[in-house]
Structure 1
Amino acid sequence: MSRRIRHTIAAVGALVLGGSLAACSTAPSAESTAVPEGDGPVVAFYGDSYTLGTGASDYTKRWSTVISEQRGWREVNPSVNGLGFINHRNAFGEGSGDLPDIVIAAEPDIVFVTMGLNDNFSYASSADRIHEQITADLTRLHDALPDARFIVVEPFWYTAERPESLAVISGWVEEAAAEIDADYIPGASRWLDGHYAESADSWMASDGLHPDDTGYAHMAEEMDAALAALTPPL
């Protein structure tokens, strides 16, 4: 890892408690865990601040809600700021009440997994644990929801500098997705390229860490195209 990348990670770690984006994590709200009324498919999202929609002017602007509304999905999005496969996980395993438990309880037809960004901040000390937990979480979700369709997304990213850990963690996520026969969407870590906080044409919120409404709109466009390209498409 280059000195510049190490300095970038160190600087961000100084801005956020515990070395995770928006790491002042809170438990999901009751509203975010409830299944909306209606007849459309139930779609649950297991993610961090980039799926929660931190930085958007309103949660209706986040990519998950945009694509859900386009498709008539009933969105269940208990995503949490700062969350990783190990970062800011206060509990693990069946019956623990963690996010996988919440996703399972919603009995979704489709499950999105958009995790891994924040685990880069723990990679140096906990690489093996991250690897094990990625497999454990995806296996547990699949075993509990054998009829659900799984969409596993390459971890998002937020700066032009890319630590070596990002490629490693992304590879582990892709491998775990293949093990449960999930659809995998590559390239998501590049969706904001050229528009980071330091860019002249930034799509980042005032915190410099999360997308603004324009950034989330672009993520929704990228996700829409990726889902349309799946077999069968979504």
Structure 2
Amino acid sequence: MIDPAATPSAGSPAPLSEGAVPTPVPTPAPTADATGQRQVVAFYGDSFTHGQGASVSGKRWSTLVSDDHDWIEVNPSISGLGFVKNRTRDAIDIVDTIVAAHPDIVISTMGLNDNSVMPGSAADVHAAIEADFHRFATEIPDARFIVVEPFWSNQDRPASVDRIIAWVKAAASEVGADYIPGASHWMDGHPELHEAGGGHPNDAGHAMIARRMDAALAKLGL
């Protein structure tokens, strides 16, 4: 299920297609939190977080979660991207993009696409995971860093999936990030949550991921 960027948004219709950039949509009037400001939350991911499979950008899981929490969403996630996979394909490094946004929270879901370069590039993948996480920890040290177990939705589950998950979990621990386990199994046994003919979540799948993510974030006090 290796899949082939997005702007801050907050939820009105904008059709998504493979590799498309969701159209910016109006942001609702800010609601002040305890500090008097809405939190800026950046999402670091691939097609699942970019919103592939959702009918409109407002129905992707990251936007649903951001709306639920009244967050300002920054989502430069790119379809087909991994820690190593396709990192030289695009001129813009999304780690740089996220750091430049000065987010209050960073949520990483990266890792799915690197299964396509395993085991040949295993050492490179392992090193890249650690390097990216250390960049977030050192370049935006005041941001809360939340690492989500990389998504997976194929019936076949190669050994590389759990190997990459182990590296992601260990790297999260090394930088003191919060960790959300189990996300690679969230779509197990639910073909109705997949887009027709593909491995990405449909609108119902994105809604399910948003519910599971909200529940996991609540356990972290968010």
Which TM-score band (shorter chain)? Answer: 0.7 to 0.9
Deviations 1:176-227 (A, max 9, x none): 100110000000001001113xxxxx21112322000011111011101101
Question: Which residue is equivalent to 1:223?
Answer: 213
Question: Which residue is equivalent to 1:158?
Answer: 153
Structure 2, gaps ≥5 residues long? 5-16, 31-36
Q: Deviation of residue 114 (structure 1)?
A: 0.5
Q: Deviation of residue 37 (structure 1)?
A: 8.3
Q: Deviation of residue 57 (structure 1)?
A: 0.6
CA distance in 2, matches of 1:84, 1:27: 17
Question: Which residue is equivalent to 2:168?
Answer: 173
Identify if the C-alpha distance between structure 1 residues 29 and 211 changes in structure 2 by more than 3 Å, giving closer, same or farther: closer
Deviations 1:107-164 (A, max 9, x none): 0000011100000011121000000000000001111000000110001001122110
Equivalent position SS for 1:125: coil
What TM-score, normalized by structure 1, do the two folds share? 0.81
More helix by proportion, 1 or 2? 1
What TM-score, normalized by structure 2, do the two folds share? 0.85
Question: Which residue is equivalent to 1:108?
Answer: 103
CA distance in 1, matches of 2:121, 2:181: 24
Give the conservation status (yes or no) of the 8 Å contact 1:91–1:98.
no
Q: Deviation of residue 44 (structure 1)?
A: 0.3
Q: Deviation of residue 36 (structure 1)?
A: 9.3
Question: Which residue is equivalent to 2:60?
Answer: 62
1:85-96 equivalences under 5 Å are 85-90=83-88
Identify if the C-alpha distance between structure 1 residues 206 and 27 changes in structure 2 by more than 3 Å, giving closer, same or farther: closer
Question: Which residue is equivalent to 2:188?
Answer: 193
Aligned AA (1:57) = S
Q: Deviation of residue 91 (structure 1)?
A: 7.2
Give the conservation status (yes or no) of the 8 Å contact 1:51–1:64.
yes
Q: Deviation of residue 48 (structure 1)?
A: 0.2
CA distance in 2, matches of 1:170, 1:224: 21
Identify if the C-alpha distance between structure 1 residues 217 and 27 changes in structure 2 by more than 3 Å, giving closer, same or farther: closer
Give the conservation status (yes or no) of the 8 Å contact 2:146–2:180.
yes
CA distance in 1, matches of 2:161, 2:38: 35
Give the conservation status (yes or no) of the 8 Å contact 1:153–1:185.
yes
Identify if the C-alpha distance between structure 1 residues 122 and 160 changes in structure 2 by more than 3 Å, giving closer, same or farther: same
Equivalent position SS for 2:147: strand
Q: CA RMSD in A?
A: 2.3
Equivalent position SS for 1:152: strand
Give the conservation status (yes or no) of the 8 Å contact 2:18–2:52.
no
Structure 1, gaps ≥5 residues long? 1-11, 13-19, 197-201
Q: Is 1:128 matched up with 2:113?
A: no
Deviations 1:66-111 (A, max 9, x none): 110011100000100000000011179xxx7401000001000000
Q: Deviation of residue 174 (structure 1)?
A: 0.3
Equivalent position SS for 2:187: coil
Count of aligned pairs between the two proteins:
203
